[in-house]
A and B are shown apart, each in its own frame.
Chain A
Amino acid sequence: MSGIGESDQIARAAGGDRAAQAALVNQNMPIVFRVAYRMLQDRAEAEDVTQETFLRAWKQLPDWQPKAKFSTWACTVALNLCRDRLRKKKPVLMDELPERVDTALRPEEALASRQGIEGIAEKIAALPERQREALTLCALEGMSNIEAAAAMDVGVRALESLLARARRSLRASLSAQIEGD
């Protein structure tokens, strides 16, 4: 939902309309939680971030400007909260690490590797932070490139670079695992 419909829903939610608030939460909370979970790999922390995101939303709603979809705004807030938490945990940015060397991965090999499939969450979690954000928003949550770039506060070209690198890293990681099996 976007445009007038979402603006109207947000105005009603800001005015204390319980049904509008519940609808806003039901429509947007799952994506915020999933993004936070993929970034933090911890359910409790992801729930904390989700709750904090909506606390900020409740404060923001009376002054809401419909410049972006609510989900995009909420993901931006959630990503910033995740970055703060990751920074406290791990001061060295993973983006500075070199990419793994890509070796050809055949689809049948990837899909035949049950261990590879089961470990996909760990492999995504092992990606550099910004690549993980890009992959989460575009490939896993189906956001458009423009929405994902806005949520990450980067340009579309930068987003594409992060996405391509993320996929290359995943591919290399899976290939390395298959070769090691």
Chain B
Amino acid sequence: MTVTGMTHERLLELIATYGAEPMGWPEDERDAARALLSADPGAYSQALIEARAIDGVLSLEEVPEPSAALTQSILAAAPSAPRSRTGLLAGLAAMLFPQGLRWPAGAALASLAMGLVGGYAYASTGIGYDQADSAYYAAFGFDSGEDWISLE
């Protein structure tokens, strides 16, 4: 929001606070302050002279440059990008599975599922241990396991 009204007191405040250069004044008050200054420059000449004295002295202030080592140490502590898979195992995996590990993993899962389903189906038929035992007893001339036990 731009301030349109500017008073004599406020312009003196701006000069005493921000200095003589309008570019240093708050952006929303700058145009109105300039307009008032242009309308009656004599009313602010003393304030501007005093402000320029301080502005001039401040402009001569010097600060040393930071060392180049500071930049390096700051950047050395910066976060790294997420690591990609590297090393011997990753190379081996890439060689064996050039399309990635998705298909081998899928095949392993499919094998596991087939094994489970097959095993369950086989167990649910009731064919298995009892028939094998009967065949075994028959091979030795017994009709059933009971005859084998009575012989013992």
Question: Residues of A with Cβ closer than 8 Å to B?
Answer: 13-18, 21-22, 25-26, 29-30, 33-34, 37-38, 43, 46-47, 50-51, 54-55, 58, 61-62, 104-107, 109-111, 116-117, 120-121, 124, 135, 138-140, 142, 144-146, 156, 160, 163-164, 167-168, 170-171, 174
Contacts and interface: CB of A to CB of B under 8 A. Distances in A.
Contacts of B52: 107
Contact of B61 (A22, A30, A33, A140): A140
Given A37-B64, A138-B18, A139-B19, A25 B57 contact: no
Nearest to B54: A167
Contact of B50 (A105, A121, A124): A105
B55 to A, nearest CB: 8
A157 B64 CA distance: 31
- Tell me which of B54, B64, B65, B81 has the highest count of chain A C-beta atoms within 10 A of its own C-beta: B54
A33 B49 contact: no
A16 B80 CA distance: 4
B92 interface: no
B56 interface: yes
Interface residues of B, number: 37
Nearest to A109: B53
A61 B26 contact: no
Interface string B41-64: 000000001111111111011111
Interface in B75-115: 75, 77-82
Query: What's the dominant secondary structure at chain A's contact region?
Result: helix
A45 to B, nearest CB: 12
B57 A110 contact: yes
Contacts of B61: 120-121, 124, 140
Contact of A144 (B16, B26, B63, B75): B26
Interface string B11-24: 00100111100001
Given A37-B63, A167-B17, A51 B73 contact: yes
B83 to A, nearest CB: 10
A121 B18 CA distance: 19
A26 B75 CA distance: 10
A139 B24 contact: yes
A29 B50 contact: no
Do most interface residues of chain B lie in helix, strand or loop, or is the interface mixed? helix
B2 interface: no
6 contacts: A16-B79, A18-B75, A29-B66, A120-B60, A167-B16, A170-B58
A117 B62 CA distance: 10
Contact of B74 (A29, A111, A135): A29
A107 B70 contact: no
A123 to B, nearest CB: 8
B124 interface: no
Contact of B70 (A38, A51, A120): A51
A16 B82 contact: yes
Interface string B130-149: 00000000000000000000
